[in-house]
């Protein structure tokens, strides 16, 4: 089945490369199906004229070929005169049909859709589900089904009703009515855009409209707070933050999947820092979100929620393995400083994030490391500044900002105090 499909696809994909005006095809060929090629070219390349050759003197084959838009149906052995007449007829008809774009040769519009199912289906299975729609073309394009019909015998609303009734695992459908100017690729892109808009609109309708979009500028949503929760195992609060970010993304997206993907992707990027070995699946989720527009990764928003919530719980569970020990708190604080040195952090703010008093944190940090916490923060920042000075062309003021110093003069004084030389002399 797979080899046959590749052969058919290769024949169809050669058409634009060859800039063909006429396709002459057999009906029965090893590993190929001429009728399938005809049906696909009718949708993808409506201005391409076709002639069918076959040894099968059967009315049914001829009827299907002519229905697919063929100029003529010629039986073997081929009569050269008959073939020449068919070619001349095809070329004349091709001139009169030039510029019709995606409309079929009868001038009717093409109904077009893309479909993503939660479960995996073969084209044959989906075809049996939609068996009542005789003139429907179905193609599997990397897990996304492409549906098209140029007969206008029914609307895609009836197809959608059957799909939602017969596919218990759920599906995502994006449908359009193509215009004459649209190419096959543009039709797919437009249908995918509709499917993604449907995904967001369904999620908003299911509940987030009851909530006010979160103000992501508040301290609760700051990078250091989210990262601290990952390190401290604060799963409940982290889940709440994700749900608010998710609601904000849906409500502010205005139906645009790109806005949703960016908001969710920014949050996942923070989680991914704690998934260096990909053991929690964050990188896979992030990739799905980034590819959502193209590949329709999620059939429903609930799928994305479940995957992200599972990753949050796993990350927090691992971070809580030594919760309560002094060693673990110091280890988490050190890791936090290494990740967030560029932010506005101080011993006092870190103590607040980890829900301990500043005197207690300062005491156990000194006991475990032999170093003052404030000095440790400065060490991390200056070490990073040394690297940037030696390996980049960025200005001293830019580097100061990159390592957490708003005042460049204070940075220069601190750098000289820690290293014995000024930043400019380190280059």
Summarised one tens digit per residue, pLDDT across range 405-414 is: 999 999 999 9
Which pLDDT score, from 0 to 100, does residue 212 have? 58
Q: pLDDT digits over 45-93, tens only?
A: 777 888 888 876 666 666 676 666 787 888 888 888 888 888 888 777 7
Over range 274-279, report the average pLDDT.
69
Cα 288 to chain centroid, rounded: 5
Over range 368-388, report the average pLDDT.
94
Over range 168-172, report the average pLDDT.
88
Q: Are 89 and 72 in contact (CB under 8 A)?
A: yes
Cα separation of 114 and 143, whole Å? 10
Which pLDDT score, from 0 to 100, does residue 11 have? 67
Which pLDDT score, from 0 to 100, does residue 16 have? 67
- Per the prediction, the chain carries an average pLDDT of 82
Residue 398: pLDDT over 70: yes
Q: Are 27 and 61 in contact (CB under 8 A)?
A: yes
Over range 107-130, report the average pLDDT.
83
Q: Are 98 and 48 in contact (CB under 8 A)?
A: no
Which pLDDT score, from 0 to 100, does residue 22 have? 87
Q: What's the distance, Cα to Cα, between the start and end of the chain in Å? A: 63
Which pLDDT score, from 0 to 100, does residue 205 have? 86
What's the pTM value of the predicted model, to 2 decimals? 0.60
Residue 5: pLDDT over 50: no
Q: pLDDT digits over 285-313, tens only?
A: 999 999 999 999 999 999 999 999 999 99
Query: To the nearest 5 percent, what fractions of the chain are helix, strand and coil?
Result: 60, 10, 30
pLDDT level of residue 262 (50, 70, 90 thresholds) = very high
Cα separation of 50 and 69, whole Å? 7
Residue with the two structure tokens 């479909």: 115
Percent of the chain with pLDDT over 90: 35
* Contact partners, residue 151, CB within 8 Å, separation at least 6: 108, 135
Q: Are 251 and 208 in contact (CB under 8 A)?
A: yes
Which pLDDT score, from 0 to 100, does residue 374 have? 95
Which one is predicted more confidently, 261 or 225? 261
* Long-range contacts from 93-98, C-beta under 8 angstroms, 24+ separation: 93/49, 94/21, 94/22, 94/47, 94/49, 97/46, 97/47, 98/47
Q: Are 423 and 412 in contact (CB under 8 A)?
A: yes
């Amino acid at each position: 089945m797979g080899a046959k499909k590749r052969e058919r696809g290769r024949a169809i994909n050669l058409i634009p490369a060859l800039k063909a005006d006429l396709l002459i095809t057999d009906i029965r060929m090893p590993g190929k199906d001429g009728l399938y090629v005809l049906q696909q070219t009718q949708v993808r390349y409506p201005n391409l004229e076709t002639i069918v050759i076959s040894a099968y003197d059967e009315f049914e084959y001829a009827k299907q070929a002519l229905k697919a838009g063929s100029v003529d149906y010629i039986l073997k052995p081929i009569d050269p005169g008959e073939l020449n007449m068919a070619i001349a007829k095809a070329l004349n008809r091709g001139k009169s049909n030039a510029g019709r774009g995606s409309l079929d040769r009868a001038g009717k519009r093409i109904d077009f859709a893309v479909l993503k199912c939660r479960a995996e289906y073969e084209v044959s299975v989906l075809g049996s589900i939609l068996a009542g729609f005789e003139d429907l073309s179905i193609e599997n394009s990397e897990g996304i089904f492409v549906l098209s019909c140029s007969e206008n015998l029914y609307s895609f609303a009836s197809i959608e009703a059957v799909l939602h009734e017969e596919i218990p695992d759920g599906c995502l459908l994006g449908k359009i009515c193509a215009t004459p100017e649209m190419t096959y690729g543009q039709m797919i892109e437009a249908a995918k855009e509709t499917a993604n808009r449907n995904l967001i609109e369904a999620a908003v309708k299911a509940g987030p409209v009851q909530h006010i979009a979160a103000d992501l500028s508040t301290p609760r949503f700051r990078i250091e707070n989210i990262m601290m929760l990952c390190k401290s195992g604060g799963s409940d609060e982290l889940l709440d933050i994700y749900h608010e970010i998710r609601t904000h993304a849906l409500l502010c997206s205005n139906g645009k999947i790109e806005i949703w993907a960016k908001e969710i992707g920014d949050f996942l990027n923070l989680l991914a820092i704690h998934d260096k070995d990909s053991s929690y699946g964050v990188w896979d989720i992030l990739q799905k979100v980034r590819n959502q527009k193209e590949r329709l990764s999620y059939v429903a928003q609930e799928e994305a929620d479940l995957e992200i919530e599972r990753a949050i719980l796993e990350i927090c569970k691992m971070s809580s393995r030594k919760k309560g020990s002094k060693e673990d708190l110091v280890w988490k604080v050190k890791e936090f400083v290494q990740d967030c040195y560029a932010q506005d952090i101080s011993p006092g703010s870190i103590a607040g994030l980890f829900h301990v008093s500043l005197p207690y944190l300062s005491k156990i940090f000194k006991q475990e490391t032999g170093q003052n916490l404030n000095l440790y923060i400065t060490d991390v920042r200056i070490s990073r500044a040394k690297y940037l000075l030696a390996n980049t062309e960025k200005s001293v003021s830019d580097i100061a900002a990159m390592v957490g110093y708003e005042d460049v003069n204070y940075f220069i004084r601190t750098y000289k105090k820690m290293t014995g030389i000024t930043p400019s002399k380190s280059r």
